[in-house]
Structure 1
Amino acid sequence: MKKYFSYIISGISLGEFYGLIISLLFSYIYDLNNYVPSAPTFTNHFTRPLNAVLVSVILWGLMGLVFSLGALVFKIENWSLRKRTIINFIIYYCGFTPLAILAGWFPLNLINWLVFTVIFVMIYLIIWFINFYSIKQDLKKINRKLNDKL
């Protein structure tokens, strides 16, 4: 139980950290005089900028939580890699998409949702293949060490 609580706290913290860093970067990239936590379509929903920041922090924490808890799927050893990947993808996509919409990252219409989905799938696949290759290399090293001892 303590381990899962640690995942929750870590996920929320990382989500808020990355959300803050990305929002700061975009505020500088767009050469804004004032910090904005998200796109104008999001921040315009609030009467006070502080409320927009508060809601953004909550959304970032929830995003971090989704990704942290979704990663737990890969700890289930009796599932195949295919099953873990599919379940992980579903958790990430179904958890992250509504939060991205609420954060105002893209307007909710069919074209933008399809573009978001294509980008999401591409990023997911890139990260998955990088992790797969990295784990494969680690296994080769372990097997070489075991063979050298025999």
Structure 2
Amino acid sequence: MKNIKDLLYNGLISGLIGIGIGTIWMAMDFLFSLNGQNPATAKIYLKTFLFWTIISFLIGIFFYLASWIFNSEKWSLKKQIFINFFVCFVAWFLLNLLIDNFSISLKMVIRVTVDFIIMYAIAYGGYFLHLWNTVRRINAKLKEK
């Protein structure tokens, strides 16, 4: 029962982090798409906002589930990162294909790839920074003893 509660709690936290990252992403996309319009008069429709909020939440949960790859002790960290990156990238690419009504172009592939690399670096960069700080603190405590 505790494992299910932990799974739900961690999934919820990851989903909320996904909403945070997704909201920042949506705001940046919105600002870049103004094309000289006054930001005070520009509009974001509720349907669009809710769509991005839900998608961001689901992406956050997916990143959490995909992080289970790091639980494999048989693989090196490099192999885990490589596999995790491509599992997440394929899911991200398929989501973008769905959003773009399955129309594919070189420009779309480049945009999706660059967007994903930035998002991946933010999500897992923060995770690995936290992990590195935790290991550093543990090592410092071990040196004290």
Among 105, 108, 132, the residue aligned to 1:109: 105
Q: Which position in structure 2 is the counterpart of 1:69? A: 65
Alignment size in residue pairs = 135
Taking structure 1 as the reference length, the TM-score comes to 0.60
Answering whether residue 26 of structure 2 is matched by residue 23 of structure 1, we say yes
Taking structure 2 as the reference length, the TM-score comes to 0.62
Answering whether residue 88 of structure 2 is matched by residue 80 of structure 1, we say no
Give the counterpart letter for 2:26 in structure 1.
S
Q: Which position in structure 2 is the counterpart of 1:57? A: 53
Among 67, 86, 92, the residue aligned to 1:90: 86
Distance 1:71 1:116 in 2: 21
Q: Which position in structure 2 is the counterpart of 1:42? A: none
Identity of aligned residues (%): 25
Distance 1:32 1:141 in 2: 46
Contact 1:8/1:65 (8 A) holds in 2? yes
Question: CA offset at residue 22 of structure 1?
Answer: 3.2
2:41 counterpart SS class: coil
CA-atom RMSD in angstroms? 3.6
Unaligned runs of 5+ in 2: none
In structure 2, the CA distance between the partners of 1:78 and 1:117, relative to structure 1 (3 Å rule), is same
Residues 114-133 of structure 1 mapped to structure 2, 5 A cutoff: 114-117=110-113, 120-121=116-117, 124=120
Question: CA offset at residue 90 of structure 1?
Answer: 2.0
Give the counterpart letter for 1:114 in structure 2.
I
Contact 2:14/2:60 (8 A) holds in 1? yes
Question: CA offset at residue 96 of structure 1?
Answer: 1.9
Distance 1:126 1:13 in 2: 15
In structure 2, the CA distance between the partners of 1:135 and 1:4, relative to structure 1 (3 Å rule), is closer
Question: CA offset at residue 140 of structure 1?
Answer: 7.5
Distance 2:128 2:21 in 1: 24
Among 30, 33, 38, the residue aligned to 2:41: 33
